[in-house]
Every structure is written in structure tokens, then in C-alpha cells.
Structure 1
Amino acid sequence: MPEPTTSRPARALLPLWLAVLAAAAGGWLMDLAYPDVAAWILAFPATALLLLALIGRRAGGALLVGLVHGLVFYLLLVSWTSRYLGPIPWMALAGVEAALTAVCVIPIALAYRWMPRAFPGTAGRLIALPALVAALWVGRELVVGALPYSGFPWARLGMTQSTSPLAALSSWVGVSGLSFLMVFAVAVLIESVRLQLWHRPVRLLVPTAAIVVLFVVPAFPTAAAGNLRIAAVQGNGPTGYFDVREPYSVIDAQTDASRSLYGEDIDLLVWPEGSVDSDPFQNANLARRMTLVANRAGAPLLANAATERDGEYFNTSMLWLEDGTADQTHDKRHPVPFGEYVPDRAFYNAIVPDLIGLLQREYTPGTNPPIMQVDDALIGLAICFDVIYDDVIREGVNGGAEVLILQTNNADFRGTDENLQQLAFARMRAIETGRSVVNISTVGTSQIIRPDGTTVSFLDADEAGAMLEDVELRSGLTAGVVLGPWVQQVLLWGGLAALLIGWWRARRRA
């Protein structure tokens, strides 16, 4: 059978009405790939449906397809944002993410129009085109994860694989690299069908074998570095934004849940984000209570509270010692827009003054390293949504962190999928970095996770309790940590450069 050639512009594979339906179905399936359902395998047909809807589309059609896909996906995925504040924040976030998705899938549609003309051979269709499509997909994830304001990298494709055999690949190429490999595999399968490679089974062997290999790659090795006996306490206190609370009710709940640990052999006691009612550096009563807990536990207390310094507010974790001092602190790096601060407050206040008026405190982004030392061990930190930002995790591990401690407060999203989605991201971070993870929430679900992603112990949502484990410490950097930033940049800029080359060659061959 001759090599496939074409000099004409690619025709749309699906009529626009069917492409829109396929994009919507893809958005629905993609949501099911994330927790609560967490059917990771559905990420592949979801990706395929979006790509099929984009093949042969012009910019306008691709914009519509991407918008529909993005709206269905994000409205389902982040429906938890409406838990207390109603539909406006939910629809605003989903709308912005969908609009960015719509714009960013246009280059993928253009790749499907230009590349078959630019590189019409089998190698071009089975390697060059899928690689470019996958690179542009990752570029879309990076753009959505960075814009607007601090971005929202919540819905990266690789993050769907926390319980999949493919998760180990993140330790080699990072989460973005995993997204690339997944899309590449789907795009290769699509082109294999379009080229009817079942008539040439020898040519089908190579892509088939490559995809099979992806499922059996072991995790990148890291070295054992001892153990740290860590206790993590979920107080289930009134830590939600709208929870009715009495003075000291939050620290009371945390203290009550910690009592079962007194007398145990503990190296570090961990409380979650928002585990202290107010700034213990300015409230002597809170400071005394924390010192008492640290002494009764016989270990330093890693707690978290809103703190104020020089007129600025921070979301701060502090290592509170038995002598009542706390010289090691870390401030949350990426405060949540419209949750912990309001960007362009005057503009948004004019639109929705009732909602904006609820957010009186403006948190400042932290600049101190996400690392603390406990005895001879270094721990890496990420506060709440900071777990989804690569820079925070990589800075901690590159700084020598031998275990990751992720403190979070999910009380504003009780009864939703938010905590389970965040927990899946924590599991992916364990696998990607080759580190144990202690993910502790105020209200659950909390878990201690091994470097391979398996759970050591857990606390269900809406229950008070404590976990105590000898947590394995690991040293050494995975390839995913070292190469991850480079992989992202190569895919982003290399994908755009390859698209321009494809356009230039397609014009010359027209």
C-alpha cells in the first residue's frame, strides 16, 4: 500500500453538530476520570473525543468545540465551588477556564490541518503529528495553569492517573510529561485507524509495543533515608468560612483529637491548615496552648494559622517547639484568587459587591522556602492548593526534603469531590517525587501515603482522629523532578515552533 499523501486542506472528520456533541461527551467522561468516580481509564476516550472533534476544524469551529468541551468539563469538575457562595463563583471559574481552553485548542486543530500536508508520510502521521498534538495539549495545560492571576492548574490530564499503572511515568517525566505521553498514545491510535494500519500489521507493531511499554515502566528509584515517626491530627472543628464558632473552638477540637497521642513516641505532630484560631505570635493564650500540646506530645507541633506582619496577612505554617518558640515558618506561596485575596478588587466589587464584601482579608504570597528541619530530617511543605503548583513541590524536594507534608482545610467544601480530587493530586506528588506524603485536612479525608502511592493509614471525612506512623524518608531526585521543568518548556515552545514549521511546509506544498 503506498505512503499516504495529501496536498489538499484536511476536511473536518465530523460535522460541526456532531463534533460539538463529541466534545461535550468528552468533557463529561473527563470529569469521571477525576475523583469522586476516579475512573482513570476514561481519560483516554475523553481525550480521543476532543481530538476527533478538532480534526479538520477551522479556527472558528475549534473555538466552539473547545468552549463546549471546557464548559461541560469544568462545570462538573469544580461544582464544589458553589457549595457556600452559590453559582456565581462556580460559573465564573468554569467560564474562564472554558474560554482559555477554547482559545488554546485552536493550535491543535491547526496542527491537524497543516501537518498531514507538511509531513504526509506514515512517519509524519504516526509520529510527528501525534507528538505535535500532544505538545500543544501540554501547552494548553500550562497556559490554563498560569492565567489569569496565579492560574488554576487543577485539571491536568496526568493528574487523572493517580491510581493507574501509568502514574509511575510521572517520576520519569513529571506530570506534564505524563499528559504528553497519554495524548500522544491516543493521537497515535487515532492516526493508526485513519491510516487503516490493520492492513499493514508490521507498521502497527511499533506504536502498539510503545504504548504497552508505558504501562510497565517502574517508578524512578530514590534512596531510603530512615524514618520519621509522624502523628497527624484531624480535629473536625468549625473551620469553614461560614461555620459558627466560639473562641478557641478550633484549637480545642485539634487538642481534643490529639490527646490519644500523649505518651506515644512521636518525632513530629502535624495539624492541618487553619488549625489555630488566630495568630499565635500575637495571642499569648493560643501560644501557651500550643506549647502545652507540644510538651504533652513530646514533639514539635507543625500548625497553621493566619498571621499578620507589618500590616500584611499570610497563611502561615509554623514549627512550634516545646520551649514555646517557632523560628521556622512557611507562608503559602499561591493564595487563592477570590478565596484568600481579591485581585482588581474595585472592578469586581462593582459587579458583585455582596460576594466581594465577604472577603475582607487580603493574603500576601509567601517568599520563604517550603522546607523545615525536624531533628536531622528535612520536610517539604505545601499549604492547601499549593499542592497543584509544581514550583512549590519542586523547591521543597530540590531543597532536600525527604518527606512531603501537605496541610489543608477542606471545611468549605464538605460533602463535595474537592477533597478527594486534592487527595489524588497529593498521591501523584508522592509518586512523582518518590517521597512519602502526609496529607492532613481539618475535616478529611486525610491520608499518609507511601512513595509508590499506596495508602498507609487514613481518616474518613467528618470524623475527628489521629494517625501515627513511622513514615519512610527518601533522598535523591527523580528524573521527573529534575527534568520536569525542562520537559514543560520544550513541549510548550517546541510545540509552537513545530506548528509554525508545519504551516510553512504546508504552504509550500499547497
Structure 2
Amino acid sequence: MGWAHCAGGNKDFAPLGLAVNMRTVKYGFLAVLGGVCSFLSAPPICLWPLLFPAVACFAAVTFFGSVRLAFASAFLWGLVYFGLLFDWVTVSSGSVLARIVLSVAEALFVAVLGVLWNGLARFFPSARKTFAQTLFLSVFCAVLWVGIEEIRSRFPFGGMPWGLAAFSLNDSPLLRLAPYGSVHLVGFTAVAAAVLGFWAVVHIFAGKRFLAVGSGLLAAALVLLPSAFPRHFSGRGLSPIRVGIVQGNVPTKEELAQGVGREITVSENHVRRALSLIRSEKVDLLLLPESASDLDFRTDPQAGALFRGLAKKANVPVLLGTQHYIKNLRTNDYVLLTPEGKIGDTYSKQHPVPFGEYLPFRSLITRIVPRAREISLDMIPGRGPAVVKVNLRGKMLKIAVPICFEVAYTSVVAQAMQDAGFLVVPTNNASFGNTGEADQQFAMTRFRAAEHGVSAVQVSTSGISGAVDPQGRVLYRSALFTADSAAVKVYPAKGHTFATRTYFSRLIAVAAANVCAAACSLSGFAAGKIRARRPRR
């Protein structure tokens, strides 16, 4: 298929049927600009104010054109955003194609959102003229944005909640809304403010000063007023515990001693760093990362001797990640090792990552991406909630331990936090290199701490490890690919935030609101056809 001349000297791109004229070029430019701004607002760049022009660009390319143009422009917006955000996919998979496929899949959700916004603009045709329609359009657009984020967080293969708007806003006043409505309320408020800001600009160019001032002031209020909300802290008055965070680092192939396996070297690195920490700091609990022992230390004699020896020397409970092998399958476990060297409570990851920890369509994928053959054993899911129980000072403490990517899933963390005192995110980021993945994951840990009003610790093999207070402020943060450790105070929580308590009912509310908004959008298309059929007077 190629370019073909059409009436008026324009050209059609056959796959989309879009006339390529100056308007199309402008929409393409705005879509690319919006996608770039959205990427820059997210970790690792973290220029959070750019999220608002990113959404405004999305509104500009979806409100005023045809349905096809809205779909194509929104798809391009999403493709640019996710294509930049998913730099780590290329490194971990060894394939640019994997990055493209994942970016396209996520961009299709954004394209559907663009069509729905186009329908809403048709349903509220007087948004240019009345403040009420401007407001309702902004609210409904924000509802659908949150709804699409929720859907893509669940489908397909369990979803991919990477790149939610809320995760870009840790340093903004909107983070204060997290304890009241999690990613849903934070994302909704940001998008509503951005759309109102967009209409303020439209009203200025239309000469409607009153509408411009009203829309602009409301947008500013939505962004700034949350800073007046009180900081939430569930653990006030409870005795702190001192936890040791151990990042042993992962050696490169060149750094490995001849004839020594990478798995046991990683374990030795973590044990060595942990012993160094306990010689200089007194801790109540030692935290080691996911895959601190890729060899199952419960059955492997060499790994078992290392970690049981560590627990006995430290004389405190140790939490660490390992694998459990079952014939041709495996589970990803986070295990309690008591000071006596005995196995305590265990959590098995309930949400393995497709194409990373198990391979759907294995025969097809391994032909397209040969490196995928490295996933020789598929990981099977364990059961929730993601909680381990630890006996500290004679008291039983429940700790939420979503493993690695599970911190991105609101449902996994919310279920775990129903009973847990604080949050620990064990992770292994070694296969992602110096990309933005580790920063993006740490941003999620920060957000979850603020959402649930608890202290949070992320502990990684190679970075980023860190500690966060219940307001999402960073207390400690390690660098990538270094051996590091720290002892930090953690305040176990007593009670829960509104967001923690209302997770399931909030999902119902989000679903109901989206049904209404989607119905309005579809009605907008029908109303537009009716208006088009009316004879002009």
C-alpha cells in the first residue's frame, strides 16, 4: 500500500484512510509532543508538571477531528509515550521487537480512549460556550482515563499497569489525595485539571474571558488545594523497629571467578554485605531482595549454609527471596528465616510477569525472540495475600511483601495491606541495566507508601533499594549496580487509610462511572449523526 492522490491535492494513507493535510500534520505533531511530555513527566525524568500539557495535547487531538483522526492521533500519542517509557524491555529481552510489540499493545488502549473522548466532545457540543458543559466534559474525560488505565492494568495476561498517570505525581500536591483514593483519585484529578486547563486556553483564543478565567482557576485549584490536606500516618505512637536493607549487587560475566556460578556469587555478595551491616548497626530485622538466593537455599546445601549462618550470626529474623522448583515449573518465593536458621512463613508471587517469568505461546515467542529461551522454566502463581508473618520482640508483625512488579498492581498491594504493618518490595532489577525501570518501580513504592500511610522499603539485588516514609518522602536511596546497605527506622502501622479500606468498593464506583461516561460518549456519536442529517435552514 502506498500514498495515493485524492481530491484537493491531499493524500490518503491507505491503512487509516486519513487525508494528509496541514490539519493532520498538526495533529501528528501535537500527538508526538504530548507523548514526549508524558514521558518526561514520568520517572526517571520526573518533570511532573509536564503531565498537564501532555493531557492537553491529547485533548487537542481527540476533541475536534473525525473519529479516525482521533484514533490515529491518540494511538501515536500512546506509541511515543510507551515506546520511550519501555526502554528497559529492549535490554531485558535483547529485542527491539519486544519493546515495539508491548508499546503497540498499550497504545491501542490509548487509541480507544481517544475515540471515547471524541464521542464525549460530540455529546457536549457547547463546551466552547458554557462553563457547565466544559466542566462535565472534563470530569467525564477524567473518568474514562482512569477507566482505561484500570482495564489495561488487568488485560491481557493480567495487565500492565506501568506508566499510570498517578505514578508521575509523587512530588506534586496531588500525592496528598493518594490515601483517599489511590491511583484512581490522583489520576482523575490530574486529568480533569489538565482538560480544564486546555479549555481555558481554548476560551482565551475564542475571546471568552469569563469562561477562560473560570476554567483556569478551577484547574489550578484542583492541582494546588490538595497540598492543604493533612499528611496521613497510620503508625503514630507505635514503637519503631530498625530494619537492615541489603543490596549485595550482581556481578557481570567478566567479574565472575572462573568455574564459579553466578547464582552462588550473588548469594555470597548479599551475605557478605549483610554481615558488614550488622557489625556496624544494630537491627531488628534483615531484608534481602528477590533472588538473593536463586538456588533454593531450603534444599541446596551451599546456599543453605550461607543464609542459615547469616541468620544465626545476626540473631534476628531474615527475609529473602528464592526459587522453589517443582519438576519443570517454579515459584518465586519470599521466605522468613528465623534466628535459629529455621524456615518460617513464606509468600509465593501470585502475579508472574508474562514473557518475563513465563512464556505464553512459547513456541511462537521463542522463534521471534530467541533470547526468550532463557526462560526455561515457567513460573506458576502462588496465592495471596502478599503477606509474611514475623515474630519480633515476642509480637507477631504482618508485613506486606509484593514481589517486584507486583507493586504496580493496586489490587495486590491493597489486599496485602488490609492486615500488614508496613510494606516491603523485594525486587531483582539486574536484567534491566541502566534503564528507567528501577526508577519507575521505586516511584511506585513511594506512591504505595503514601496511599496506605505506611513506611515502605524497596530492597533490590542491584538497585534501586530505598526507604520511604508514610508520606512518600525518600529517607534512603541506593545507586544502581553498587553494593550498599543501610539501617532505617520503620514505624509499623496501626489502622488503615480510606484508600486501603475502600479498595473493592472504589472499583465498583470506578466501573459505574465509566459505564455512564462511555454511554455518553456513544450517545455523542449518535447525536452527531442526527445533527448531520438535519436540513440546514
User: Structure 2 length normalisation: TM-score?
Assistant: 0.86
Matched, 1:177 2:185: yes
- 1:474 equivalent in structure 2: 493
User: 1 CA distance for matches of 2:383 and 2:330?
Assistant: 13
Larger deviation: 495-504 or 449-458? 495-504
Does the 8 Å CA contact 1:174/1:483 hold for their aligned counterparts? Answer: no
Which of the numbers 190, 212, 232 marks the counterpart of 2:224? 212
Does the 8 Å CA contact 1:26/1:49 hold for their aligned counterparts? Answer: yes
Q: Give the residue type in structure 2 aligned to 1:360.
A: S
Quickly say closer, same or farther: Cα 1:201–1:286, change in 2 above 3 A: closer
User: 1 CA distance for matches of 2:413 and 2:170?
Assistant: 16
Matched, 1:251 2:267: yes
User: 2 CA distance for matches of 1:137 and 1:94?
Assistant: 18
Matched, 1:86 2:86: no
Q: Give the residue type in structure 1 aligned to 2:119.
A: L
- 2:375 equivalent in structure 1: 359
- 1:6 equivalent in structure 2: none
User: 1 CA distance for matches of 2:62 and 2:212?
Assistant: 27
User: 1 CA distance for matches of 2:213 and 2:89?
Assistant: 50
Quickly say closer, same or farther: Cα 1:233–1:203, change in 2 above 3 A: closer
- Once the 2 structures are TM-superposed, how far is the Cα of residue 408 of structure 1 from its aligned partner? 0.6
- Once the 2 structures are TM-superposed, how far is the Cα of residue 475 of structure 1 from its aligned partner? 1.9
- 1:189 equivalent in structure 2: 197
- 2:293 equivalent in structure 1: 276
User: 2 CA distance for matches of 1:502 and 1:449?
Assistant: 41
Larger deviation: 472-481 or 335-344? 472-481
- 1:386 equivalent in structure 2: 406
- 1:60 equivalent in structure 2: 68
User: 2 CA distance for matches of 1:404 and 1:168?
Assistant: 19
Q: Which runs of 5+ in 1 are unaligned?
A: 1-13
- 1:432 equivalent in structure 2: 451
Quickly say closer, same or farther: Cα 1:208–1:275, change in 2 above 3 A: closer
User: 2 CA distance for matches of 1:177 and 1:200?
Assistant: 25
Larger deviation: 256-265 or 384-393? 256-265
User: 1 CA distance for matches of 2:417 and 2:405?
Assistant: 17
| CA-to-aligned-CA distance 1:280-325 (integer Å, 9 cap, x gap) | 2221332222111001111111011111246531011100112232
Matched, 1:347 2:361: no
Alignment of 1:5-404 (within 5 A): 15-84=23-92, 85-116=94-125, 122-196=130-204, 197-199=208-210, 203=214, 208-224=220-236, 225-238=238-251, 246-247=260-261, 248-263=264-279, 264-309=281-326, 312-349=329-366, 351-352=367-368, 354-374=370-390, 375=392, 376=395, 377-398=397-418, 400-404=419-423
User: 1 CA distance for matches of 2:492 and 2:452?
Assistant: 12
Does the 8 Å CA contact 1:136/1:492 hold for their aligned counterparts? Answer: no
> CA RMSD, aligned part only?
2.5
Does the 8 Å CA contact 2:286/2:317 hold for their aligned counterparts? Answer: yes
User: Structure 1 length normalisation: TM-score?
Assistant: 0.90
Q: Which runs of 5+ in 2 are unaligned?
A: 1-21, 532-537
Quickly say closer, same or farther: Cα 1:98–1:243, change in 2 above 3 A: farther
Q: Give the residue type in structure 2 aligned to 1:187.
A: V
- 1:499 equivalent in structure 2: 518
Identity %: 26
Q: How many residues align?
A: 493
Larger deviation: 216-225 or 152-161? 216-225
User: 2 CA distance for matches of 1:36 and 1:502?
Assistant: 35
- Once the 2 structures are TM-superposed, how far is the Cα of residue 195 of structure 1 from its aligned partner? 3.9
Larger deviation: 199-208 or 72-81? 199-208
Does the 8 Å CA contact 2:123/2:520 hold for their aligned counterparts? Answer: no
Matched, 1:446 2:446: no
- Once the 2 structures are TM-superposed, how far is the Cα of residue 428 of structure 1 from its aligned partner? 0.7
Quickly say closer, same or farther: Cα 1:276–1:352, change in 2 above 3 A: same
Does the 8 Å CA contact 2:201/2:212 hold for their aligned counterparts? Answer: no
